[in-house]
């Protein structure tokens, strides 16, 4: 029985590709906020109190389990005027997810008079804070040698993989 090295070579190639993609993918830290938490999007809830201790960042999402949600400007938000919405965010299923993908203030109300019962929310969306900076390297501490060791380890892993592939192919 003759074995072809194509399958194992393909496996190694796919493994290397997956590893490379995992290394290159940036960390994603977006949050999907359920408006009102366990209270949901309903009347007689103070959404200003709900939102005051939360930090909304560019890339986060707002989830509301309610229909008839409108994005309005600040003036219409304060007066509960739903006549000229910027966007009608209702998709029809009653489970609306709104991306917060621009750094600015967002104003949401529920139309048909429910805004007067408290169904409105204002959020400020900011850019995420920068990642923490690493401590400066002390050249005497030998930290640069650990980077060099990491390069050797990665090269060794790929060499072992290539040897394994050759072993399996000739077996």
Question: Would you state the pLDDT for residue 132?
Answer: 78
25 confidence band (pLDDT: 50, 70, 90): very low
Question: Would you state the pLDDT for residue 158?
Answer: 76
Instruction: Give, to the nearest 10 degrees, the angle between helix 143-170 and helix 6-24.
Output: 160
The pairing of strands 120-126 and 105-110 is: antiparallel
pTM equals 0.59
Identify the H or E element spanning 153. helix 143-170
Higher pLDDT, 137 or 62: 62
115 vs 148: CA distance, rounded Å: 61
Each residue of 70-93: pLDDT tens digit?
899 999 999 999 999 998 877 665
Question: Would you state the pLDDT for residue 48?
Answer: 80
Each residue of 101-135: pLDDT tens digit?
999 999 988 888 888 888 888 999 999 888 777 77
* Sequence-separated contacts (24+) of 28-32 with Cβ below 8 Å: 28/59, 29/57, 29/59, 29/128, 30/57, 30/59, 30/60, 30/61, 31/57, 31/60, 31/61, 32/60, 32/61, 32/62, 32/63, 32/97
**Number of helical H runs and strand E runs in the chain:** 4, 8
């Amino acid at each position: 029985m003759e074995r072809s090295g194509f399958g194992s070579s393909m496996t190694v190639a796919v493994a290397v590709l997956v590893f490379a993609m995992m290394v290159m993918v940036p960390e994603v830290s977006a949050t999907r906020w359920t408006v009102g938490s366990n209270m949901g999007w309903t009347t007689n809830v103070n959404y200003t109190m709900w939102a005051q201790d939360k930090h909304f960042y560019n890339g986060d999402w707002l989830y509301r389990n309610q229909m008839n949600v409108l994005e309005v400007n600040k003036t219409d938000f304060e007066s509960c005027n739903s006549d000229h919405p910027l966007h009608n965010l209702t998709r029809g299923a009653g489970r609306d997810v709104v991306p917060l993908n621009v750094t600015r203030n967002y104003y949401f109300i529920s139309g048909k008079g429910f805004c007067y019962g408290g169904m409105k929310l204002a959020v400020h969306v900011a850019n995420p804070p920068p990642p923490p900076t690493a401590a400066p390297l002390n050249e005497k501490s030998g930290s640069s040698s650990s980077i060099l060791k990491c390069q050797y380890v990665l090269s060794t892993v790929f060499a072992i993989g290539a040897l394994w592939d050759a072993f399996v192919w000739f077996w």
